[in-house]
Structure 1
Amino acid sequence: MVPALVRAGADTAALFKSDVTASGIAYGDGARALFVSALAESCPQRFAGLGNGYLGELDPAQHERLFGRLRTLATHRAEYANRIAQLQKLADAAKGEDKKELAGVAGAAGAVLKTVDAYIDSLEPGETGERSPLYNAARYLGYASRTAGVPVLDFDLRLEGMSIVRDKLFTGQTLRLSGVALLWYRLHAADGSLRLAKTVRRIARPIEVDLKGEAAGGAFWDGLEAPATGTRP
C-alpha cells in the first residue's frame, strides 16, 4: 500500500516538473563580416578600409601608369626578339662548336621570350572592367596608396548562440535566447610591430521569446511594413 502511494505521489509530482533543454550553435560564416561592419558603423571616420569587398573606383592615373609600364615592357620585348633573331642568324652561319653554343644561347633566350609573352597575355590588357587583371591591379594599388601607413587590425572572432527551452504542464513551453562572443585581436603598425593586443568575452542576457504570439502577417514575409490601415499600398 505504501509503495503504491509513493509511486502515485511521484507520478503526480512529475506532472509539475519543468523539462529544461539547452542547446548551442556556433556561427562561423559571416561572423567576421558582421563584426567588421558593426565596428565600421560605430566609428566610420577611424577606418581607412575594410579589406575585402569594395575597393573604391578606379584611379585613372594609377591605371595609366600601369599601362605605361606594360607598353615599356612590350618595347623591350620587341628589342629582345630582334636580338634573338640576329643571334639565330649568327648561329645558322656558324659551324662546329660555335654553332652549337650560339644555338643553345638563342634557344634559352627564346624560352625567356615565351615567358614574357605569357605574362603579357595573362594581364589581358584588351579587357575592361573586373575581368581585366590589369584593371584589378590598378584598383588594389589605389587602395594601397589610400591606406598607406595606417595601423592594421587583426582579429579572431567566435560567436555562439544558445537556446533554453522550458516545458511546463500548465504554462507550456518558454524559449529563451542568449549569445556568447569571444574576441581576441591585435593592432599592428604599418611596419608590422605590435601596438596592442587584447581578449574580450561577452555574454548576452537571455531574452524570452513569446511562442504564443500572433503569427507574422504578409507584410513581414514580403519585406514591407504594414501600413496603419492594415492594407497594402
Structure 2
Amino acid sequence: MELSIIVPVFNEEKTLPAILDWLIALPADKEIIVVDDASGDGSGAILQRYAGTGRIVLLRHGENQGKGAAIVTGLAAAHGEYTVIQDADLEYDPDDILVMLAEAKRHHAPAVFGSRVRNIASGISYRRYYWGGRFLTFLANLLYRVNISDESTCYKMVRTDLMKSLGLTCRRFEFCPELVAKLGRRKIPIREIPIRYHPRKMEEGKKIRWHDGAEAIWTLLRYRLGAK
C-alpha cells in the first residue's frame, strides 16, 4: 500500500462528507484512517456511516485528547509506505496529496511537506497567523537547519516507518513542531512543493489559538535542548 491518510476529527460535521468523499475518490493505493477525538456534534454519526461502507478505518477516543493525540492514534494503525495528515475542514486541497506522493516517489524522499508560502496565489489566514507561522518557520530553520518555508503546514508526508520511529508524544497542535524538530535532529532531508490553501475564519470553526503558538515555540526549543 502506497499511502496512509490520517484524518483527525473534532466537531467537523459541516465539512466531513465533502472531505471524505474527496479523499475516497483519490486515485491512489491508500487507506483513510479517521480518528474521532470525542466529537460532540454529528461527526460521529457521519463517520459511522462511512465506516459501515468499509471505505474508511474509524478509530475513536473516549474523551477529547487533542489533534496531536489523534494523529498518534492513527499512526499506530497506519500500513502505507507513506503517511500524510489531512485536516477535515477543507482548508487543504486533497488533490495536492497526489502531487506530494509523486514527488516523494520520484526522489525516494523520506519527507515531503506542502508549502502554502510557496504558492503565491494561496490565501493565508489572518495576519497574526501568517506572521506567527513565519516566525515558527524561522525558528525551526535556525534551530534545526531544515531549510523549509512553512513549518505549520498540515500537509506533512513522511515515510511511515520513519514517522513511527520518531516516538511522537504530542497531544494538541504541537504535532507540527515536534515532527519538524525530530526530523531535524536526525538530519532527515525535507522536500517541499507548493500547495493550495483556503483558510477559514474563527467563526467558521478554526480551532488554533495564540497559546498554541506559544506551545509550538516551546516545543521547538525543548527538543533542541535535548528533550526526548
**With structure 2 as the length reference, what TM-score do the two structures score?**
0.19
Q: Which has the higher strand share?
A: 1
Q: Could you say which structure has the higher helix fraction?
A: 1
Give the TM-score normalised by structure 1: 0.18
